[in-house]
Structure 1
Amino acid sequence: MSQLNAVSDAYKTLLDMVEKVEPRIAAATRQELTDQRASLKLIASENYASLPVLATMGTWLSDKYAEGTVGHRFYAGCQNVDTVESVAAEHARELFGAEYAYVQPHSGIDANVTAYWSILAHHVESPALEEFGARTVNDLSEADWETLRKRFGEQRLMGMSLDAGGHLTHGFRPNISGKMFHQRAYGTDPETQLLDYDVVAQQVREFKPLVLVAGYSAYPRRVNFAKMREIADEVGAVLMVDMAHFAGLVAGKVFTGDEDPVPHAHVVTTTTHKSLRGPRGGMILATKDYAADIDRGCPLVLGGPLSHVMAAKAVALAEARTEEFRTYAANVAANAKALAEGLLRRGVRLVTGGTDNHIVLMDVRDFGLTGRQAEAALLESGIVTNRNSVPNDPNGAWYTTGVRLGTPALTSRGFTTSDMDAVAEMIAGVLKSTKPTTTSKGEPSKAKYDLSDEARQHSLDEAERLLGQRPLYPGFDI
């Protein structure tokens, strides 16, 4: 406890320093900790980083430019950043069994865009340079350059549709990924809402993409990545897996064999927060064939790496290599299953009828609600979630018909399967007590609702009881 007291005192001192410069920032920082401690965080993409990870981000490593790669920087004096990046990449390779790791991306989207352009460079640019007798694109004639640019723009990508559980960076047209490629999406079975690999294979044969993207942000089931690799190989596609959501379950050996994407994919991207419980950032794992292309992430896509965040990634990845983290990952999956079963017992409809990862996706139409109404009602009842599309969503991507739940954050606080049953009771109670209202024109509103004061207060009281038993950063006080 004496060490924790020292850490608390250090944070107090730091915030006191901030307060003297800009008190509003210090106040907002303190309030954020208060708010996070006082709510049931069920957002599947959020977690709580450890105090060592948080402390690592607040250092003078932030002050150093380090464009380039280890041992090959465009700035002098990067020897300590080289150490930081090397250690982070070493932990990533060892943790996931990858041939190559790139820890510079600032976010998951940065990781995906870097991966896409690296794949294009590997499969389109390099062959073209050899064909044109050039060493780099700077050696191309204007005519050859125009030919190469056209080839870049002719490539195809296929990923999971947004309403089936895919991510906007998997070819969603308003996103850069949908503008870089000719894109087409695969979905899930209309009845089971599960991936049908035979259907996916047929769609891939017809479209013949250069890149087949697997992975998800709102699909509550595991994926057979060995099967996805077979599908990609049949048409000569690159299999890229976005494991941003479930990287912690891969690191913690909950997903193994065919469900572990690293042995099967050419390229794997991820965030380092979410279920991996590190700092906000991105990362790329790949076979050694793609290493040289991905190493050109700067200047291809990225600017200078965030050295302080790479350091925090190294600390988080070191934490993820422990037996304690494996226990945590197993508990994340067990808690999600308990939450799903508790909701099903109380009559809540779930997409795919359950879960076997960390995500539970509710379909709230049986309550007469949109996802936006349900999300807001739960929020004012002490439960933080996010609305999400469901397959063939009648309300579109803004109002939605679903609410996504995830268990990584509450599991970090020590919540158990019995706690999750109590959370399911709270969620079902709030939804049953929420009624949609009408607009000024007398039409059903997709945003406004009425929630009984009694149900709201009961949920807030129960949330306070559960959170009091499972404190966030126990013994830490600022």
Structure 2
Amino acid sequence: MNTSSERSQDRARLAVSDPDILLALQGEEARQRAGLELIPSENYAFPEVLTLLGSAFTNKYSEGYPGRRYYGGQEFTDEIENLARSRAKSLFRAEHANVQPLSGSPMNQAVYLGLLEPGDTILAMDLSHGGHLTHGAPVSHMGRIFRFVRYKTDPANGAIDFEALRKVARETKPKMVVCGYSSYPRDYDYADFKRVADEVGALTMADVSHIGGLIAADVMRNPLDAGFDVMTTTTHKSLRGPRGGLIVCKEKFAKQIDASVFPGLQGGPHMNQVAAAATTFRLAALPAFRAYAAQVLANAKALAGALTARQVKLVTGGTDNHLLVLDAVQTFGIDGAKAQAALDRVGLTTNKQVIPDDPLPPMRPSGVRLGTPAATARGMGVIEMDEIAAIIAETLGADGDAGAEAALAARTLALTARFPVPGL
């Protein structure tokens, strides 16, 4: 493990070999310290994760699986991958785990390509209602390889319209039903999806990339408990691990999934990432992480309540998880891109977001997406959520007034100064 002196020496070497990159690194660190990350897919990795990502495991090539590698010198890489797999299975109550996916998109692609045939029908969530690109968006490669059909939310309350979903399933006979989301602020009853899939003989897959940490901590429902065949999650976001993917599944699909990841889709895994994931799974099993995950949910509800009290319209009216989506057009008369830019100027990092059946284009959508994992990792609680809601509402209502934004940026800085960024 690098000492403070060794890290200083590394910085000194970088200052000589590539000062431009060092300046960019220092700038990013300063941005993260002074500002507040409110994008729900972003978080601060555990300090141990940062150490392992820069470790000697970065140097090792490990094509294959433990005990079946194509290169020598695998004593310790086999050890960390076996630990990562066993810890992931224990954490999520799974029969099998593959820890090699390099990120979320290839993770989902490996499942489709391993269990289905090109041209097969997949029933998945509509992108504008909260789904992800890998759930069959026309611009994605998966949307060209497989036939995706859609389900949506009920415009009256934001719930999944299961009668409409069942009707589509009966008409199209999908080979797989996918549930999971990128911007849906509610929880699922996975048993409802399982019943629909069983009716039409479809496999079930849950992409819980956003809420994997909340499921690991048992503060949100686990799809595997409802009998799902496959569950995927990224290992960063709410898990606070390295950027990467995880596939857990029933044992009967283990060989197909493993072969689809390697050699089907990827070459050698990133063993520094695997080591960091193994440590993440261990930390996520501890009581402190369960308390963190519970606070993430409490903070999200507090933020939603504080925004609603300030007459901000939220998609579905609130949240059951770590994220919420505000309608900037209806509340403030500006689109999500302008809202994102204004919040950037006061030190709040968010992302523009489409809302259900959004009439505006994706680069200028109606909404803004917010989340609480990163703020919670800094130690913020429900009291701070009220101040954050006030800064958001006042910024978006300021109509670009430079003086007002300068005062609001000072409030953000005063808030973040009290809560250091873990690992920096």
Residues 54-453 of structure 1 mapped to structure 2, 5 A cutoff:
54-120=50-116, 152-255=117-220, 259-263=221-225, 264-296=227-259, 297-366=261-330, 367-434=332-399, 451-453=400-402
Instruction: Confirm or deny: 8 A CA contact 1:158 1:171 kept in the other structure.
Output: no
Partner of 2:404: 455
Shift of 1:27: 2.1
Instruction: Confirm or deny: 8 A CA contact 1:16 1:26 kept in the other structure.
Output: no
**Paired letter, 1:262:** L
In 1, Cα distance between the equivalents of 2:118 and 2:241?
A: 35
**Paired letter, 1:220:** P
Shift of 1:7: 4.4
In 2, Cα distance between the equivalents of 1:31 and 1:262?
A: 42
In 2, Cα distance between the equivalents of 1:286 and 1:17?
A: 45
Moved more, 17-26 or 49-58: 17-26
In 1, Cα distance between the equivalents of 2:350 and 2:23?
A: 24
In 2, Cα distance between the equivalents of 1:407 and 1:340?
A: 10
In 2, Cα distance between the equivalents of 1:371 and 1:99?
A: 42
In 1, Cα distance between the equivalents of 2:55 and 2:148?
A: 42
Q: Number of matched residues?
A: 421
Shift of 1:282: 0.6
Q: Which consecutive unaligned segments of at least 5 residues does structure 2 have?
A: none
Shift of 1:459: 1.4
Shift of 1:199: 1.8
In 1, Cα distance between the equivalents of 2:143 and 2:108?
A: 12
Partner of 1:37: 33
Superposed CA offset, 1:49-73 (max 9, x none)? 1211100011221122111111111
Superposed CA offset, 1:127-150 (max 9, x none)? xxxxxxxxxxxxxxxxxxxxxxxx
**Paired letter, 1:92:** A
Moved more, 13-22 or 245-254: 13-22
**Paired letter, 1:313:** A
Shift of 1:99: 0.5
In 1, Cα distance between the equivalents of 2:265 and 2:335?
A: 38
Give yes or no for the alignment of 1:471 onto 2:417.
no
Percent identity between matched residues is 41
TM-score (norm 1): 0.86
Moved more, 6-15 or 329-338: 6-15
Instruction: Confirm or deny: 8 A CA contact 2:299 2:382 kept in the other structure.
Output: yes
In 1, Cα distance between the equivalents of 2:202 and 2:245?
A: 24
Superposed CA offset, 1:69-126 (max 9, x none)? 1111122222211111111111101111111110000000010011111112xxxxxx
Shift of 1:382: 0.9
In 1, Cα distance between the equivalents of 2:3 and 2:36?
A: 25
SS in 2 for 1:163: helix
Shift of 1:265: 1.4
In 2, Cα distance between the equivalents of 1:426 and 1:115?
A: 42
In 2, Cα distance between the equivalents of 1:280 and 1:187?
A: 29
In 2, Cα distance between the equivalents of 1:198 and 1:8?
A: 59
Cα RMSD, aligned residues only: 1.4
In 2, Cα distance between the equivalents of 1:206 and 1:176?
A: 24
Instruction: Confirm or deny: 8 A CA contact 2:44 2:422 kept in the other structure.
Output: no
**Paired letter, 1:427:** I
**Paired letter, 1:462:** R
SS in 2 for 1:37: helix
**Paired letter, 2:407:** H
Instruction: Confirm or deny: 8 A CA contact 1:114 1:302 kept in the other structure.
Output: no
Residues 5-20 of structure 1 mapped to structure 2, 5 A cutoff:
7-20=3-16
SS in 2 for 1:285: strand
Shift of 1:233: 0.9
**Paired letter, 1:96:** F
**Paired letter, 2:339:** A
In 1, Cα distance between the equivalents of 2:84 and 2:16?
A: 34
In 2, Cα distance between the equivalents of 1:14 and 1:90?
A: 34
Q: Runs in 1 of length 4+ with deviation above 4 angstroms? A: none
